[in-house]
Amino acid sequence: MAHRILEKYNKEVVPALKKEFGYVNVMAVPKITKVVVNIGTGRIVRESKTVEAMARDLALMTGQNPIKTKAKKAIASFKTRKGLEIGLKVTLRGKRMYDFVDRLINIVLPRTRDFRGIKLSSVDKFGNLTLGVKEHIVFPEVVLESSKMIFGLGITVVTDAKSKEEAEKLFRLIGFPLMK
């Protein structure tokens, strides 16, 4: 399943981008370098069993164990102290990355409620796509009955594109449902 996106990239996307942007070398064509999946634990940071359940669900979704992110500085209004674990993060590269992107495009995004496409403002000037998923239960690996709570997550697809236009074209050719 993961090879489907990689084959499409090599057979369709690379020639189309070379033709449109005039790349001479194949290595100059933009590609997805990594995917970062984040969860902020928020108010439930003190409930260790819930955080463990969130980590288990994130591991099921990505196929990789998450790392715990810590607060860099104390913020009194959020009741955080420096070094307090405030989130979970997974960085995907290689085969797992392509597998995750394939499931994201073909299964997860169509299952989200009221989905009409990804806004173009989600692509930043550096060529990275950042989107949020409000409910993690849209992933087919997560069983609703075993989940203690429903949480959202942030997904960042990082590319080595030089501009927003190159990244937009790359995402459209790969199959991301970007709005017009």
Distance (Å, rounded) from C-alpha 50 to C-alpha 43?
11
Indicate the fold that domain 1-34+93-138+163-175 takes in CATH. 50s Ribosomal Protein L5; Chain: A, (3.30.1440)
Q: Please state which architecture CATH assigns to domain 37-92.
A: 2-Layer Sandwich (3.30)
pLDDT at 180 over 80: no
The stretch 159-167 carries a mean pLDDT of 91
The model's pLDDT over 26-66, given as tens digits with 9 standing for 90+, comes to 899 999 999 999 988 876 666 777 788 888 888 888 989 99
Give the range among 6-10, 140-144, 171-175 with minimum mean pLDDT.
140-144
Give the range among 64-73, 79-88, 131-140, 160-169 with minimum mean pLDDT.
79-88
The confidence score (pLDDT) of residue 46 equals: 67
Distance (Å, rounded) from C-alpha 118 to C-alpha 53?
29
The two tokens of residue 101 are 């992107």
Q: Where are the domains of the chain?
A: 1-34+93-138+163-175, 37-92
Distance (Å, rounded) from C-alpha 45 to C-alpha 92?
24
The confidence score (pLDDT) of residue 145 equals: 67
pTM, entire model: 0.86
Give the range among 35-39, 116-120, 148-152, 160-164 with minimum mean pLDDT.
148-152
